[in-house]
Each structure stands twice: as C-alpha cells, then as structure tokens.
Amino acid sequence: MVRVWGGGIYEEQAFYDVCDELGILVWHDFMFGCGNYPAWPALLDSIKREAEENVKLLRHHPSIVIWAGNNEDYQFAESENLTYDINDKDPDSWLKTDFPARYIYEKVLADVCASLIPD
C-alpha cells in the first residue's frame, strides 16, 4: 500500500493508472495536514467542492481503497489540548468547539464520500 499524503498534492492520473495496473493499493488523504482548520461557511463550501471534484475524478480507480480526512490533525488537536469528545455525535456542536476542523473531517468529507463512492 502507498499513501497519497494529506500535506501534499493530488497525483497525476498516470500515478493512479499504474497503481490500478500493478495492483498497488492506495490510501488517499484529503489535503489537510497537521492543523486545526476553521469552519467558516465559505471555506466549508470550497472544501466540499474540492472534495467532490477530486472524488468524482478519481473514484473509478480500484486501487484507491481508503479516503482519509487528514494527516495527523487529530494528533495536533491532542497536542494542543483542543476539545474532542468522542461521545459527542452532534456535528453542529463541533462547530462551537476549539477544534472545528472535526466538522470538516467527520461531516463534510464523510458526506461527500458517502454520496459519491459506491460500496
């Protein structure tokens, strides 16, 4: 398995084609790395559009077996003692914490994947 890192770039189509041909599995991060991103409405809309465009572009590749929300952002939240209550399942409440990026990873990106990637 190889990983497309969340602090990097979306690779060229040729990369995914070769992975498909050679049977190389891909763990694909969305492009969020080591931070706590704000959840401003305009930014959330932009993130949703970017995720939708890239998932639509890449979802036909059987090599992509994992779509992950970020790279080490939960570790960042932990190191900064930001609020993360694993038992809190209300996405709207996450927007009111000092770790609003959770809404991006567990709501926005999860919804995009659920709607665009077949089981």
| Closest residue by Cα to residue 20 from 47, 58, 77 | 58
**Burial (CB count <10 Å: 0-12, 13-18, 19+), residue 59:** middle
User: Regarding beta strands 26-29 and 2-4, do their DSSP bridges make them parallel or antiparallel, or are they unpaired?
Assistant: parallel
In the set 11, 50, 52, 72, the catalytic residue is 72
| Closest residue by Cα to residue 55 from 119, 118, 117 | 117
Is 52 labeled as catalytic in the residue annotation?
Answer: no
Catalytically active residues are 72
